[in-house]
């Protein structure tokens, strides 16, 4: 029963995170596009570039928090019924533990799908964040049921508004699944 309560509480946290990202995205203007890189950047261009980095950092930070939640619910046994998710999370957990134990960087670089040089950097908080975000992306890829959701994972570089919309949709779906399975304990 305590396990069910913990999982239901984490499901509520996922829902809260989805709402927070949605509120943040509501403040983003839709005319925002810096795809035309000027030869000589202006202050307006620099301001837009800083805003783009802030938005990307917001989504990154949210994915890091979600990665921590996924590990906690994995440890609580929430994915015992979903073998693919359980295996994916278990593999990422093992890779994270191995990298931490050996004091080596993860096998991923941010923004790349191919392995980095193993052991090129020591274990750090950045390495932990990379693995948590990759864990979230991997799980979301497995959960993606629709063609559009699957297609969103084909290219790592998407417009930030599309990434945010996908993140919100997946967080709400995961939260709903966990609530349906574990909320009957009276939470």
Q: What are the 10-residue block averages of pLDDT along the chain, 187 residues in total?
A: 85 93 85 59 79 89 94 91 90 87 68 50 77 87 78 67 86 90 63
Per-residue model confidence (pLDDT) at position 21: 92
Please give the structure tokens belonging to residue 104.
């080596």
Domain that holds residue 147: 2-31+42-185
Indicate whether 97 belongs to any domain: yes
Q: How far apart are CA 143 and CA 161, in angstroms?
A: 20
Work out the angle at residue 125's Cα, subtended by the Cα atoms of residues 100 and 123, and round it to the nearest 5 degrees: 35
- Residue 62 has a pLDDT of 94
pLDDT of 186: 46
57 lies in some domain? yes
CA 99 – CA 23 distance, rounded (Å): 35
Structure tokens at 49: 């570039």
pLDDT at 114: 47
What's the token pair of residue 51? 């805003």
Instruction: State the Cα–Cα distance between residues 64 and 166, nearest whole angstrom.
Output: 16
Element (H, E) at 129: helix 125-143
pLDDT number for residue 141? 84
pLDDT reported for residue 86: 92
Give the Cβ contact number of residue 60 at 10 Å. Answer: 15
d(C-alpha 69, C-alpha 3), whole Å: 14
Q: How far apart are CA 149 and CA 143, in angstroms?
A: 9
Domains held by the chain: number = 1
Residue 36 lies in a domain: no
**Is 37 a domain residue?**
no
CB 4 within 8 Å of CB 186: no
Please answer whether residues 70 and 139 qualify as being in contact, where contact means their C-beta atoms are separated by less than 8 angstroms: yes
- The pair phi, psi for residue 44, each rounded to 5°, is -65, -40
Specify if 132 maps to a domain: yes
């Amino acid at each position: 029963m305590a396990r069910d309560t913990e999982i239901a509480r984490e499901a509520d946290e996922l829902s809260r995170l989805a709402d927070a990202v949605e509120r943040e995205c509501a403040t983003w203007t839709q005319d925002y596009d810096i795809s035309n890189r000027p030869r000589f950047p202006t202050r307006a261009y620099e301001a837009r570039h800083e805003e783009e980095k802030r938005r990307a950092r917001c989504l990154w930070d949210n994915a890091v928090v979600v990665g921590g939640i996924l590990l906690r619910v994995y440890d609580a046994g929430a994915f015992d019924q979903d073998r693919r998710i359980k295996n994916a999370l278990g593999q990422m957990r093992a890779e994270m533990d191995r990298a931490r134990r050996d004091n080596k960087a993860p096998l991923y670089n941010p923004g790349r799908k191919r392995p980095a040089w193993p052991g090129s950097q020591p274990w750090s908080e950045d390495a932990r964040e990379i693995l948590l975000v990759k864990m979230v992306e991997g799980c979301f890829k497995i959960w993606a049921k629709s063609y559009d959701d699957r297609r969103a994972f084909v290219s790592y570089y998407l417009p930030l508004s599309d990434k945010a919309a996908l993140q919100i949709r997946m967080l709400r779906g995961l939260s709903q699944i966990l609530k349906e399975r574990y909320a009957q304990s009276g939470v």
